[in-house]
A and B are shown apart, each in its own frame.
Chain A
Amino acid sequence: MSALSQMGAVTGMNLRSIPRRLGSSSVIVIGIAGVVGVIVAVFGMTRSLSQALVDTGRPDRAIVLRSGAQNETSSTLLVDAFATIKNAPGVARTSAGDAAGSAEMLASVNLIRREDGAQAAVGVRGVEPTSATIRPEVKLIDGRMFRPGLREMIVGRGAQHEFKNLEIGDHVGLRDSVWTIVGIFESGGDANESRLFADAQTLMSAYKRTAANSVTVLLESEASFDEFKTALTTNPTLSVSVERERDYYQRQSEDANTFFDLVTTFVGIIMALGALFGALNTMYSAVSARTVEIATLRAIGFGASGVVSSVLVEALLLSFTGAVVGAAIAWLLFNGNTIGIGNNVGTLVFQMRITPALLGSSVLLACIVGLLGGLLPALRAARMPVATALRATA
Chain B
Amino acid sequence: MKYLPLIWAGLWRKRVRTVLTMLSVAVAFVLFGVMHGVTAGIDQIINQMSDSRLRIQSRVNITEALPIAHLGRIENVPGVLGVGYYNFVGAYYQEPRNQISAGAMDMSRQTALFPEIKVPDGALDAMARTRDGALIGADLAKERGWKVGDRIPLRSSIWMRKDGAQDWTFEILGIYSWADGRVPSNEFWINYQYFDEERTFGNGTVTIYFARINDPAHSAQIAEQIDGLFANSANETQTQNERDWLRGRIAQIGNMAFFVNAIIGAVMFTLLFLTGNTMMQSVRERIPELAVLKTYGFSSSAVVLLVLGEALLLCGVAAGIGLGLARLAQPSIFRAIGAGGLALPWSVIGTGLGVAAVVAIISALPPAWRTQRISIVDALAGR
Contact = CB atoms under 8 A, between A and B. Distances in A.
A–B interface present (Cβ within 8 A): yes
Interface of A: 23-24, 26-27, 30-31, 33-35, 37-38, 41-42, 65-70, 73-76, 78, 107-110, 115-116, 118-121, 173-176, 209-211, 239, 259, 262, 266-267, 270-271, 273-274, 277-278, 280-282, 284-285, 339-345, 347
A267 B248 contact: no
Contact of B61 (A34, A110, A285): A110
Contacts of A67: 96, 157
Contacts of A343: 252-253
A116 B258 CA distance: 12
Nearest to B19: A277
Contacts of A107: 60-61, 63-64
Contacts of A280: 20
A267 B266 CA distance: 12
B158 A176 contact: no
Given A67-B157, A271-B267, A341-B254, A281 B17 contact: yes
Q: Top 4 closest A-B pairs, CB basis?
A: A69-B157, A34-B270, A176-B234, A108-B61
Interface string B18-44: 001101100110110010000000000
Contact of A175 (B155, B234, B273, B277): B234
A273 B269 CA distance: 16
A42 B234 CA distance: 43
Contacts of A210: 201
B285 to A, nearest CB: 9
A175 B62 CA distance: 12
Contact of A119 (B31, B248, B255, B337): B248
Contacts of A118: 248, 251-252
A198 to B, nearest CB: 14
Contacts of B168: none
Contact of B254 (A74, A174, A340): A340
B15 to A, nearest CB: 11
Interface of B: 16-17, 20-21, 23-24, 27-28, 30-31, 34, 58-64, 90, 92, 96-97, 99, 155-160, 166, 201, 233-235, 238, 248-249, 251-255, 262-263, 266-267, 269-271, 273-274, 277-278, 280-281, 336-337
Given A74-B90, A119-B248, A65 B266 contact: no
Nearest to B35: A267
A109 B61 contact: yes
B339 to A, nearest CB: 12
A278 B255 contact: no
Given A271-B267, A285-B281, A278 B252 contact: no
Given A24-B281, A281-B21, A175 B60 contact: yes
A76 B269 contact: no
Contacts of A239: 166
Contact of B274 (A31, A74, A173): A31
17 contacts: A31-B24, A33-B270, A34-B270, A41-B262, A67-B157, A68-B155, A74-B158, A108-B61, A108-B62, A108-B64, A116-B255, A118-B251, A273-B23, A274-B270, A281-B17, A343-B252, A344-B61
Given A23-B277, A342-B254, A278 B270 contact: yes
A27 B157 contact: no
B30 A38 contact: no
Most buried by A among B28, B90, B266: B266
A23 B280 contact: yes
Given A70-B96, A270-B31, A345-B63, A35 B251 contact: no
Nearest to B23: A277
A78 B97 CA distance: 23
A176 B59 CA distance: 10
A173 B20 contact: no
Given A210-B201, A281-B24, A344 B62 contact: yes
Nearest to B62: A344
Most buried by B among A70, A273, A278: A278
B157 A37 contact: no
A344 B16 contact: no
Nearest to B270: A34
B5 to A, nearest CB: 25
Contacts of A26: 273, 277
Given A27-B277, A110-B61, 20 more contacts: A27-B273, A37-B266, A65-B157, A74-B158, A107-B64, A109-B61, A116-B255, A118-B251, A118-B252, A119-B251, A121-B61, A121-B252, A175-B235, A211-B201, A270-B27, A271-B31, A277-B20, A344-B252, A345-B62, A347-B252
A173 B60 contact: yes
B254 A68 contact: no
Nearest to A173: B60
A38 B201 contact: no
Given A66-B158, A74-B158, A174 B90 contact: no
A115 B62 CA distance: 22
Contacts of A285: 17, 281
A278 B24 contact: yes
Given A30-B270, A120-B252, A274-B270, A110 B60 contact: yes
Contacts of A175: 58, 60, 64, 234-235
A175 B254 CA distance: 25
B278 to A, nearest CB: 7
Contacts of B20: 277-278, 280-281, 284
A176 B235 contact: yes
A273 B20 CA distance: 11
A278 B274 contact: yes
Contacts of B99: 70
Contacts of B166: 239
Contacts of B60: 107-110, 173-175
Nearest to A69: B157
Contact of B17 (A31, A76, A284): A284
A132 B110 CA distance: 48
A38 B267 contact: yes
Contact of A75 (B27, B157, B234): B157
A119 to B, nearest CB: 6
Contacts of A75: 157-158
Contacts of A31: 24, 270, 273-274
Most buried by A among B17, B24, B201, B251: B24
Contacts of B159: 76
B318 to A, nearest CB: 11
A42 B201 CA distance: 44
Given A110-B60, A274-B267, A274-B270, A76 B157 contact: yes
